[in-house]
Structure 1
């Protein structure tokens, strides 16, 4: 095992900007003492929270962070009973959350990584998973439905953790500690697959990584740093130069703000990957038979609109919607639609053949867009009334986030309308 080294105070300060709380200094000492390598970066307190900035000029393709395998927090690199997805029928998210929650009760518990994690109150206000029924009911439909699915998963994972870890092995944690830890795992894990985990599903290959956790998200994957894996640890490498003081980002993927909000508890003010899920309103135009056919074609749902256009899936759904139930499965128009879906007919050819139908599709799309705006304005007004009600005083942050998201969506539609006059 490599010999640990204790960083000097002056060396430690090389990686800390002014005003960073003491808990982060402790974590920095911990990772440096365990053979992490940092180059030209600093932990900094930024307007949106803690992040990483360049301490001096950084070039493209520079390795700026290395975190050794020994510091990773996952079910492969830590000892935790009944948790291996290879040896036990475990749920990785559940077991990893049980481990994190149990650290409050570990002997001489003073884990520097645990100490820098956000408090439960932060997750309760930022993640729709923990928002009240009244707030969720007034959120965009996709956020509402996804949060309900998360609530069910959290419930199942807690029951699993109690049975497999607390009851069977005597691991200590309360329900609130588990819920906090579950949110920590949900928001702070990255993909990591050890060689022996080749049969483990990708969604279960989860690890938390001290220090790399500080890098904030940017949707620009071609500019954000890359995180690469090797047998000895994780590395962060730049894809562009950085000036001193400039924040350095990694990317979680090109996700819209709905996804970022429900999975991570934040939305980006300027997210070039942002769009709107309009399933709720497109489905209102589809009969059960339409939806059955679209499901068979793998076109049922996932309907998106951004500031430039609606997605191809949306157009296909609306093209089917104007065909009456009586005509489904028969006639040239229906079978030409099937050819279009299967790639046997070009879209331009289909549009030319069914010019009048396309006008009907355009009219239906306009109705969908108008319905989104009307619905959003109604829900926003409901949320604003809740803000003025003392009953919801403690929920003002979650209400504010929901209002902000509706504002972003309505702004996307305004831009879409302007570009598609």
Structure 2
């Protein structure tokens, strides 16, 4: 790993706009993986830890710029290569170009402006990485590699992302696939949503990938036994997709402002920072607009920096953290493939249980709750039962439209209805506690013989968190 980090740093330092604090290092451990630690001195509020130039980030803009090196018809002002440059100037900028033997001249020239601009960031970036990191070396017998190779090389292997549930769902050979039946509602719904996005994005780009792979294999002399099958290509795409998903950082992309899900960038070295649950305390990101120097071409969206927050780092080998957001374990597992043992942002979705409870009078109760926008989305966390649950159960038990209406409008406090619904809430939460404890016990018994203990342990941690939430609320009812 050290050699790959050294190569990454050498690549980044080719730009005089790259900065890294001299008192941080990369640390690697079996428990927490790779992270950034303090090597000496201290890091205090607003200190810059890392600053990466726009040209060294992977996003919608920089990829279009690099594709335009090989596609002279691709002209997007302010994004692609400035075609007003002389041939020699353009040749210098397009340092990645290696002559007519490079298949990208032919392939990227097939991509029209409309086709590229209609892709989402996920579609374009996964398409580009799939070609540059996996297919280009194969097509050219490792004679040509992407200029992004030092960045690609430090990304996690397929095995390291195996704990993401959508991979269990989309990858037929996943050893963790049996765990899907144990996923709780929130995790399962999140997994299904991401899986649908994965398949939709693959459908969008796969036709070109299949075509290029067929053409290049037939002309490159690769033996048929070495050709990638459609399943193998999808498996590579799946890995690339979750490398992107687990490492992207929010950044406004001018060409994609209307599509919020496309507003992100991949930033080398910054992606070594691990998550911590505390918000607004540790490191934080900053994106500065591009400043154009005379004779310099603008590439990308801006300088991306990480600064220290309120927390004062002064212990040698102390890890520096970045909060990824106020996320529950269900979210963290599905987006990043990890969970946190003590996560204050955990919550429990009991929508199905509430709806099942009122099922006998579903139409009447549902009509009232739908009219007032209180149907579904019933959650509890470690210290609170959501207002939506209180409203739903208050109407279910009393059918008092006038008072519940005043409750919704804030003229009656929850203290009026709580005594009326506490008994049924206790029964509901106690029943869920028993149910989850049984599931937890089943999973724990499987731990010794599990094919993948990490994936199983993550699901166990989610259920353990649920039980804590239920116990805390039962104590207060």
- TM-score in terms of structure 1 length: 0.82
* 1:4-403 equivalence runs, <5 A: 21-35=2-16, 36-39=18-21, 40-46=23-29, 47-55=31-39, 56-79=41-64, 80=67, 88-102=117-131, 103-107=133-137, 108-109=144-145, 111-124=149-162, 126-131=163-168, 132-163=176-207, 166-167=210-211, 174-198=233-257, 200-231=258-289, 232-240=302-310, 241-243=312-314, 244-287=316-359, 288-289=362-363, 290-323=365-398, 333-341=400-408, 343=409, 345-348=410-413, 351-352=415-416, 357-387=417-447, 393-403=450-460
Counterparts of 2:375 and 2:239, CA distance in 1:
34
Query: What displacement does 1:77 show?
Result: 1.3
Structure 1 residues 87-144: Cα deviation after superposition (integer angstroms, max 9, x where no partner): 63323323322222222122522611111111112222x1111235531111222112
The gaps in structure 1 that reach 5 residues or longer are: 1-19, 328-332
What is the CA-CA distance between 1:374 and the residue it aligns to? Answer: 1.9
Separation in structure 2 between the aligned mates of residue 291 and residue 260 of structure 1, nearest angstrom: 32
| In structure 1, C-alpha distance between the alignment counterparts of 2:412 and 2:259, rounded to whole Å | 37
Measure, in 1, the Cα distance between the counterparts of 2:405 and 2:381. Answer: 26
CA distance, structure 2, for counterparts of residue 85 and residue 347 of structure 1? 56
Change (3 A) 1:100 1:298: farther
Q: In the aligned structure 2, how far is the partner of 1:238 from the partner of 1:138?
A: 39
Alpha-carbon separation, structure 2, partners of 1:408 and 1:258: 10
Query: Which has the higher mean CA deviation after the structures are superposed, 252-261 or 396-405?
Result: 396-405
Report the number of matched residues. 381
| In structure 2, C-alpha distance between the alignment counterparts of 1:98 and 1:162, rounded to whole Å | 9
Q: Which runs of 5+ in 2 are unaligned?
A: 68-107, 138-143, 169-175, 217-227, 290-301
Query: 1-side partners of 2:448 and 2:3: how far apart?
Result: 37
TM-score between both structures, scaled by the size of structure 2: 0.73
How big is the shift at 1:295? 4.0
Query: Separation in 1 of the partners of 2:28 and 2:374?
Result: 45
Q: Tell me how far 1:268 sits from its aligned partner.
A: 1.2
Larger Rg: 2
Shift of the alpha carbon at 1:58?
1.2
Whole-Å separation in 2 of the counterparts to 1:235 and 1:177: 30
Q: Distance in 1 between matches of 2:114 and 2:395?
A: 44
Rounded Cα–Cα distance in structure 1 between residues aligned with 2:371 and 2:3? 56
The verdict on how the C-alpha distance between 1:314 and 1:213 changes in structure 2, with shifts beyond 3 A counting, is same
Question: SS state of the match for residue 78, structure 1?
Answer: helix
Q: Distance in 2 between matches of 1:133 and 1:295?
A: 36
- Name the counterpart of 1:15: none
For the aligned residue pairs, the C-alpha RMSD in angstroms reads 2.7
